[in-house]
A and B are shown apart, each in its own frame.
Chain A
């Protein structure tokens, strides 16, 4: 494995128990994510892209294999450590936005900070966190919609809020699972542009699951999954400057 990897999967397998038998979904995936890159993961539907992303993002545990984050095996880490890493180091953007409907856009963006802080810490940190959440909303172009509920926002706007939320705690890695899968092509372009802009601006490392070959080609590297394995990793068009 390359020493320069910030996150690496080492022969990760994942079986699902279905009835009496098991369904092998990942059959030994090895993949590394390098700092500052946008890594696209492509493959047929059902090949296990989301499963791999969840395992990389330690939302899910692999059946076997290791997930190394900066050299630490997170697959073997304690639940509280895994929660801490998810909160501090990782950010997630989902296909269906997954905003919390009872909270405003601003509050949704604040949520990772809120989750990470105890009541006392929160009191001292609240101001700074609010300012940062406001900044993030401005960056994704939603400064006027801070007080709106998700139900008052369009799909594209909701996804922007979700991206701002994922960035709240300045994550080392951003995981995006088909972030444009539910949007029309014009909006999808805007969202992708936003993600690439983030990468260009602050060298945001990003793992991007996508169906869209043209989008994949725009990334630094493309991992193609076939039959539960990463069949090949090819270079995309993006170069780090």
Chain B
């Protein structure tokens, strides 16, 4: 019992020990915060990669037909959905730009069931809708103020509607428009309300919610009600489109010769930047038997057009039909800037692919089933086929991310180790200072283990206190990281987390119990083994008689 009493009393009497506690606290808190955020990012990234790749892919050898192979894949136990893909590569040519693309001919209805391209497309539509509403609302602001300012805003905004973000940025239109809008907001209550509405719509996470806000404003502002109603209708139409994209990729049924392709947002912007109204796709195929050529491949040029939705019945105030160009947004730059999807059927119709042929079947595992567990049954169903899970296909990358996290954990753990050394120094000094008292305790009947326990106990108490304080602090920060980021943003004007850069509307942060244990157990071990063991040994080795003579 004296072990505890003496340890606690020494702890209370010495300010220095709080330094060690603070060291452990900082280390543990930093570990929890950083590892939770890393975990959040990692999960998000894995989700995206998995969504783009599909859980498992089967590549049968030889010439296979969708109509035969697909039912066979769907019959495998544990397969929730399967979809055929015809993968190839090509070159996208748009005026003076040559962009390499990976191409997937897919089934518009099956593909969203195995992967996340439906989701990615809905995200792209949502982003575009928000952007569209902002420019349209800018035009409404322009219409609500006096002539010259109004015309300036309209010029800037219509330029904005017509060209992509990258070009607008380059022209400086964004900044000039912002300044003009601020001047307009000072002109009266209506433009002020519209400017605020514009900001609300830009920040809204849900399109229906944004449309509701615009409709409410239409009721409150009769003079611009017509414009606002139209904008609200446009946002709602786009919300419906986004919903639709989740279950069916929005390929139109037929567009003559031109092949409608679904591009990523980044690719769309690059094309816009080059001012390309139409583009061509350059691919290669094997020559047919009857073709008079000795070359092993034949180049195929296909005119393409980005997939778009036109609302014929909705005429905009300028008298044109309301339309939107649809692109997907996965949040992974390589994919968004270098990948294109088109319908398997349409590709066959235009001679880009042989009908009913595919190169792989993408499969989604049933809920709760690990994709890797599906590899065996699929391999059995398709003898000789190549079967790969999504983790197989990105193994080295996923491993690198995991390794990065581990390294960061090791580096941050050095804070705890430093606190351990601090403890070691403090306690060694304490043993020296308390030599006589240790002798007294031995004379009073304390054993070697007892006096060792005092210093081991001290280190344990400090490790525990630092660990718990650090956990509390770390959890507080990890759980409120977005609030803290917001506070930093509003007070300093800095943007610690640029949302556009990560395609995330919040900082992901996932606190895993396993990670907590993985931090706390080594922390306690370091405290006791590094901070406490040597002082405890030294205390226990003191000869009581020597210690009593010690002054």
Q: Do A and B come from one complex?
A: yes
**Interface check A100, CB cutoff 8 A:** yes
Which residues of B are found within 8 Å of A94, using beta-carbon distances?
Answer: 548
Given known contacts A60-B545, A94-B548, A111 and B2 CB-to-CB distance under 8 angstroms:
yes
- Is there an interface contact between B440 and A98, defined as CB atoms closer than 8 Å? yes
Q: Which of A92, A121, A122 contacts B444 (CB 8 A)?
A: A92
B 509-551 contacts with A by CB, 8 A: 543-545, 548, 551
Contacts of A84 on B, CB cut-off 8 Å? 445
Known: A79-B448, A92-B443. Contact between A115 and B548, CB under 8 A? Answer: no
Q: In the assembled complex, how far is the CB of residue B435 from the closest CB belonging to chain A, in whole angstroms?
A: 12
With known contacts A59-B544, A98-B436, A100-B440, A80–B447 Cβ distance under 8 A: yes
B444/A87 in contact, CB under 8 A:
yes
Number of residues on chain B facing chain A (CB within 8 A): 27
Contact with A along B1-38 (1 / 0, CB 8 A): 11011100110110000000000000000000000000
A117 on interface, CB distance cutoff 8 Å = yes
CB-CB nearest in chain A for B450: A115
Q: Are B13 and A86 in contact (CB under 8 A)?
A: no
Does B2 lie within 8 Å of A115, measured CB to CB?
yes
| A84, A86, A121: residue with the most chain B Cβ atoms closer than 10 Å | A86
State how many angstroms separate the Cβ of B541 from the closest Cβ of chain A. 13
Give every chain B residue within 8 A of A119 (Cβ-Cβ): 1, 4
Q: Flag if A115 contacts B441 (CB, 8 Å).
A: yes
CB–CB A115/B545 < 8 A = no
CB-based contact A103/B445 at 8 Å: no
Q: B5 contacts which chain A residues (CB < 8 A)?
A: 114
C-alpha gap A88/B445 in the complex (Å): 8
Q: How far is the CA of A60 from the CA of B547 in the complex (A)?
A: 11
Q: Is the CB of A122 within 8 A of B548?
A: no
> With a CB–CB cut-off of 8 A, which chain B residues contact A117?
1
Q: How far is the CA of A100 from the CA of B1 in the complex (A)?
A: 16
B543 neighbours in A (Cβ, 8 Å): 60
**CB <8 Å contact, A79 and B1:** no
- Contact of A59 with B545 in the complex, beta carbons under 8 Å: yes
- Contact A86 B1, beta carbon cutoff 8 Å: no
CB-nearest residue of chain A to B440: A98
User: A10 to B74, alpha carbons, bound, how many Å?
Assistant: 95
Partner of A112, one of B4, B437, B445, B545: B445
Check: A236 CB closer than 8 A to any chain B CB: no
Main secondary structure, interface of A, reads: helix
When distances are taken between beta carbons in the complex, the residues of chain A under 8 Å from B443 are 57, 59, 86, 92, 98
Known: A59-B544, A59-B545. A115 touches B13 (CB 8 A): no
Compute how far the CA of A86 lies from the CA of B440 in the bound complex, rounded to whole angstroms.
Answer: 11
A84 CA / B2 CA spacing, docked (Å): 14
Is there contact, CB below 8 Å, between A83 and B548?
A: no
Q: How many residues of A contact B (CB 8 A)?
A: 32
Interface centre among B9, B441, B444 (most CB of A within 10 A): B444
Contact A102 to B444, CB < 8 A, known contacts A59-B545, A111-B2, A115-B2: no
Q: A130 near B: Cβ within 8 Å?
A: no
Are the CB atoms of B447 and A112 closer together than 8 Å?
A: no
- Knowing A59-B548, A98-B548, say if A114 contacts B10 (CB, 8 Å): no
Residue among B5, B9, B437, B448 facing the most chain A CB atoms (10 A cut-off)? B5
Chain B residues with Cβ below 8 Å from A60 are 543-545
Across-interface contacts of A112 in B (CB, < 8 A): 444-445
Contacts of B446 in A (CB 8 A): 83, 87, 115
* Contacts of A78-127 to chain B: CB distance below 8 A: 79-80, 83-88, 92, 94, 96, 98-103, 111-112, 114-119, 121-122
Bound together, the chains give a CA A83 to CA B445 distance in angstroms of 5
In whole angstroms, what is the CA distance A59 to B445 when docked? Answer: 9
Chain B residues within 8 Å of A115, by CB: 1-2, 441, 444-446, 450
Residues of B within 8 A of A86 (CB): 442-445
**Chain B proximity of A210: nearest CB distance (Å):** 18
Q: How far is the CB of B537 from chain A (nearest CB, A)?
A: 16
| Residues in A whose Cβ lies below 8 Å from that of B545 | 54, 59-60
Closest to B5 in A: A114
Q: Which of B2, B442, B445 counts the most A-chain CB atoms under 10 A from its CB? A: B445
B446: nearest chain-A partner, CB-CB: A115
Complex Cα distance A112/B450, Å? 13
B413-455 residues at the A interface, CB under 8 angstroms = 436-437, 439-448, 450
- Please encode chain A, from 60 to 91, with 1 for each CB lying within 8 Å of some chain B CB and 0 for all others: 10000000000000000001100111111000
The interface bits of chain A over 17-57 (1 if a CB of B lies within 8 angstroms of the residue's CB, else 0) are: 00000000000000000000000000000000000001001
- A142 to B: closest C-beta gap in Å: 19
Complex interface: chain B residues within 8 A of A165 (CB):
444
A residues in contact with B548, CB < 8 Å: 59, 94, 98
A94 to B544, CA, bound (A): 13
Contact B1 A102 (CB under 8 A): no
Measured between beta carbons, the chain A residues less than 8 angstroms from B12 are 102
Q: How far is the CA of A96 from the CA of B550 in the complex (A)?
A: 11
Q: Which of A88, A98, A114 contacts B2 (CB 8 A)?
A: A114
* Least Cβ–Cβ distance between A121 and chain B, in angstroms: 8
Contacts of A54 in B (CB 8 A): 545
Q: How far is the CA of A99 from the CA of B448 in the complex (A)?
A: 19
**How many angstroms from the CA of A119 to the CA of B436 in the assembled complex?**
25
Complex Cα–Cα for A80 and B544 (A): 14
A79, B451: Cα distance in complex, Å: 13
Q: How far is the CA of A103 from the CA of B7 in the complex (A)?
A: 12
Are the CB atoms of A103 and B9 closer together than 8 Å?
A: yes
B539 to chain A: closest CB distance in Å? 14
* A-chain residues with CB within 8 Å of residue B9 when the two chains form the complex: 102-103
Task: State in angstroms the CA–CA spacing of A59 and B438 once bound together.
Answer: 13
User: With A and B bound together, what is the CA distance between A199 and B6 in angstroms?
Assistant: 32
Contact check, B442 vs A111: say whether CB atoms are below 8 A apart.
Answer: no
B1 touches A114 (CB 8 A): yes
**Other CB < 8 Å A-B pairs besides A92-B443, A103-B9, A111-B441, 7 of them?**
A79-B447, A83-B445, A100-B6, A102-B6, A111-B2, A111-B444, A115-B445
- Hey, which bits of chain B sit against chain A, CB under 8 A? 1-2, 4-6, 9-10, 12-13, 436-437, 439-448, 450, 543-545, 548, 551
Q: Would you mind naming 11 contact pairs between A and B with Cβ atoms under 8 Å apart?
A: A59-B548, A60-B545, A83-B445, A83-B447, A86-B443, A87-B445, A102-B9, A111-B444, A114-B2, A115-B1, A115-B441
The list of the 4 closest CB pairs from A to B, nearest first, reads: A87-B445, A122-B1, A83-B447, A86-B445
Chain A residues with CB under 8 Å of chain B are 54, 57, 59-60, 79-80, 83-88, 92, 94, 96, 98-103, 111-112, 114-119, 121-122, 165
